[in-house]
Amino acid sequence: MTIGREDTKKIYYERINKVIGYINLHLGDDLDMKQLAQIGNYSDFHFQRIMRAYLGEPLGTYIIRIRLESSAQLLRLTSMPVQEIALKVGYENPTSFNKAFKKRFNISPLEFRETININYQHIKSKQIMIISDQISAQPKIKNVDPITVIFAQAIGPYSESTTKAWEKVCKYAADKKLFGFKTQFIGISHDDPTITDEARLRYDACIAIRKEVKPEGEIGVKVIPGGKYAIFRHKGSYEKFTDSYSYIFGSWMPESGYEPDDRPGLEIYINDPEKTKPEKLQTDIYIPIK
């Protein structure tokens, strides 16, 4: 039986998605290249070349970057000790972590945390005026069940990559007749644009599904973990998300008694941006807390 070009392409993307998904969930583990090649069902010889072509950087460089950028987010958003953060992102030796972090950000982990704290105090002192008309000052605290979704990931500036990801996943959902009453449209912005270069930002466009679906090509299937979330209602254009997140993490979070955990944050879109004026858009921002 001969496999056509389109089928080959689909299998190619399915295997890459499997490898990337594994890496994201196991940053603290020893990510051996041979093991990753086996997970993707690739030969050792071709594996690194394939991943480099997809990611736009060597796989080893990608893993180091994701580990360090994840550690920066933990330093920014939690009070977790530096040594614990180092272990969580795969550095058993704190000295090696400090050296790698400083090489990436030109500042030590402790200095980075202190700088962020100063910046957040500055945000708080300005008493952000957008709160009342752009975002709810206090969130709803809710335990959410796991959500099974299909998704497409795009890499690049959020202003461009989100559109590409949504076009892919919506076409697939329409072809497979997966849209239903009150279908949930969920965005996952994996990276903080103040930490990660625009060209490397990762975004998942997700559609919640109720029936069993298998991964196909660039369309993956995963379960968004359940748990406790602080849910804020953002009103207005998506371009103003940055201000809302600044309020959440700069003003609300430090005084809330909660800390974010390492589940992904979610953006659940309430209305259709193609049929709604930007100022009328509504989005629920889900912040995972513990």
Same domain (yes/no): 266, 187: yes
CB 239 within 8 A of CB 155: no
pLDDT digits (tens, 9 = 90+) for 150-179: 999 999 999 888 999 999 999 999 999 999
Q: Does 91 fall in a domain?
A: yes
Indicate which CATH number applies to the domain containing 20.
1.10.10.60
Same domain (yes/no): 161, 271: yes
Same domain (yes/no): 192, 228: yes
Same domain (yes/no): 94, 148: no
Question: 1-10, 147-156, 195-204: which has the minimum mean pLDDT?
Answer: 1-10
Same domain (yes/no): 186, 268: yes
Same domain (yes/no): 275, 209: yes
pLDDT digits (tens, 9 = 90+) for 239-258: 888 888 888 887 788 788 88
Domain that holds residue 105: 5-121
How far apart, in whole angstroms, are the C-alpha atoms of residue 265 and residue 145? 14
Q: Does 52 fall in a domain?
A: yes
Indicate which CATH number applies to the domain containing 158.
3.20.80.10
Q: Does 131 fall in a domain?
A: no
